[in-house]
Amino acid sequence: MKTIHIGSDHAGFELKAKLSAFLTQCGYIVSDHGTFSKESVDYPDYAHAVAKAVQSHHERGVLICGSANGVAITANKHAGVRAALCWKEEIASLARAHNDANIICLPARYISVEEAEKMVKTFLETDFDGGRHLNRVQKIDC
């Protein structure tokens, strides 16, 4: 069983709760890094927590905020983290296959729960293609 690290700000709180239940139903262990209510919070606090966990444990993560831009920008400050902003299933697949992304960032205000579930499932089930993409991925970290 794999552990998935998940976090959100207040805008993503409801979607995070639904995705956590979905991931548990799919057999994953969900490590929830917050937030735990709809009360206004600062997204970097949760993005950093998930990014640190993914970085330390070489696992995957899910981050959610209103647009997904804030959490993606924040998570990508961590060496070894490749956080991809995804808004449709094909982008989630390519993020894994071509970029070896280890965190999917979802825009809660612009996608449905069903779309989010499909993207997360695809993201977690897609392997990195390696090959010609490996050299590119190795050039990402500064």
CA proximity to 95, closest of 49, 63, 66, 53: 63
The rounded Cα 136 to chain-centroid distance in angstroms is: 21
Sheet bearing 60-65, strands edge to edge:
29-32, 3-8, 60-65, 103-107, 83-85
Catalytic residue numbers read 65, 98
CA distances from 42 to 46, 48, 66, 67, 98 (A): 8, 11, 12, 14, 31
